[in-house]
Structure 1
């Protein structure tokens, strides 16, 4: 009886605040609910929604569907995920028999997110995302198609399928409006999805970088929920990289968000969980136990059961490493009670098996479970270094840089128009010259800052940090033209690593990348700041030496060759000996362009390879 009175009172208050204009205008009810949810707290909106019976209202079918969708979003925000999913179910049941609409697609996307929060299982939440993409491709809404493409990219985080996710992201970037009106959430989600795919193929530094860009983008609109999610992802990448400073910085940011956004009840749970994880990794086991116990004591604040279950395993590991196997076994058994835990997380399940077996004093089973963990890790590493996944990720990285550059170019153009408009207004108003100059210099400084950022992104090779192919050839052409005009000497060196494929095949691509970085550093030390040094192919590099004679260029080339051949690269557990071959040519009267000089240097490089490698060869013939 009392509940009925409360329910009636809430509805009456709502009707008093928003009296109906006419019975026939049922659209007003929907508008009022939207207005109420926009101007009240989640708890207040939830109380009203819970008291309202949509099925018995005078709304039309499509309006009921819209209201169910709105209810689903409110329930989702309150982390009442079962109710959110039920609301989306009812909305979909109404609209899926109708022509494809924005509402149908958004329902599938939002329901998939609710399922993600509940299970963290791609095999479950991606079902709706694929349906949404199928409908979005048949629907004339580019913004929704971009959203569906981006969210589907998260469904291909397996190293063997990650290239499919990258293809979806590439398509999303092609469709995204790159003007100043770009949807901030869409831009941030592209960075987020990109970071997720990079993480899947072991490119954790690039993963961290893109999660950080997503975090900064969501900061623009003060979206604390997504800001926290990105800090969580940044933390996870920092943990894999062993960058404890970044990991602890992220935990600090998470705790600050938890303090400033108390409406998100589970922020403290995740903050303590992550503090425990970094303590576990740095062997501070007592500290890890304290933080994991704090997190588990707050498990009631989150609906994301996957992370609660993971917390039991983390605590079990901390207990085990601190010499408390009995407590560890209890926590591991608690972990195993979750029969819905993701089956693809085999290493976590095997670790729990090992701890439980050890607690039962079945040491053979415990050791065998640990051996299986090692086997699983090795298999995952083999998947990660597949060329298709790595190459797709690298190609996407180049497209992402181009995407960012287009965003930046448009922003610069808009700022320039705004500056021009401001100058015109100042002339009309006849303001004082001092004010005009101050504003102009400020605007110019602002533009120069962004222009510098744009140039750095557009000109730099993503792996080595030196000039990329495009910038090397562009600037090199200007250097050659200037040398011809001023009748000055200029030398061109083309070189690559001898038998680089064997290094990749023997040690893997991460070692190959480290070799390229080390080579770049040594080569930079062998040339002056006025020389142009760029990477123009996989392991192929070009150096242009302005105002440098043939004799001087030979000395520089030999110094470079010797610096590489004489000292191996020392990695963590590997020492890499390698050599380079160099082709050298100088500007002569018959050479008119950089392209001709590169052809000659390439011919000389071929001769150096053919005569035994690890050599400097000067071009002497005419092509």
Structure 2
């Protein structure tokens, strides 16, 4: 009973453009963005370090003021009572350093006032320097004036006897308290600034991590999929015939040799069927090459449906096919070949309402112990195929030793 097999349209290959430009642009954009964010993290970290250094310097200088005020006070007092010139020099030196430090700490404030009418110092710091209860700036000026006066007019102070000079009380009490408050304020503001910068740095770092995650899912993963698809397409094109979807000659020869070596190792039988379409040129000449291509596709589907999962089918020429049958002797190979021939002959290839009869000729050969390469088996099957075609076509022939 004849059966009609409807033609299905040829599967089109996956079209993938060369990925080099896509990959270059994707990498450039994504890595540039990461680089910018990384640079921002670096700048934030550098800013944190800079702020820490600057804050530490201000704290150190403001802390020196406490020591310098006590030093200037003590050496001045020693000079008053002993007249030791070295004490006078040390007191003068300490007082000068105290004055220079004070000018340094307020320098940014004064420059800012002169240029923008805005103070760099915080309101809290300005209050410590200029407002009650500490008025550090005024007390530094008062202390400087008192110490200079004592150093110049030593006799007046020495005559006072045991009465403690006023600058000593100032250095030990309100001026020291003001300096302590200034140091504490510098420490607090420095820590606050560093904390703010660290927060910004952490935010940027989180953005970098999130960006990497987003890029991994929405850029790199699609890119990898695209490249993998492209690689799979290249792999398929390298091993499979584009028209039939079967293995090509190169891939078949490699696989067949592997099966052949395995059959030698395990002493298992191995057979080959060679076949081609009868009067294929007549089909091309009568119905056109497009119909010929569809006929090849039709035969390919018939072969694929007829084979076991372990068998290997390939298109090795225009209308020429080869089938590798592992663990199959001559008898089983002949039965398989006849099944294929009968199935093709009893089916009808229909295209555009035309029923085109198609038959095939087949040749069968099995591996011998003398064979050293699968090519010998294939050549014998090809010889048997020639015998089928010479004796009338639509036949199966077994190579006779």
Q: TM-score interval w.r.t. the shorter chain? A: 0.3 to 0.5
The TM-score, its normalising length taken from structure 1, stands at 0.29
Relative CO higher for 1 or 2, CA cutoff 8 Å, sep ≥ 6? 2
The TM-score, its normalising length taken from structure 2, stands at 0.45
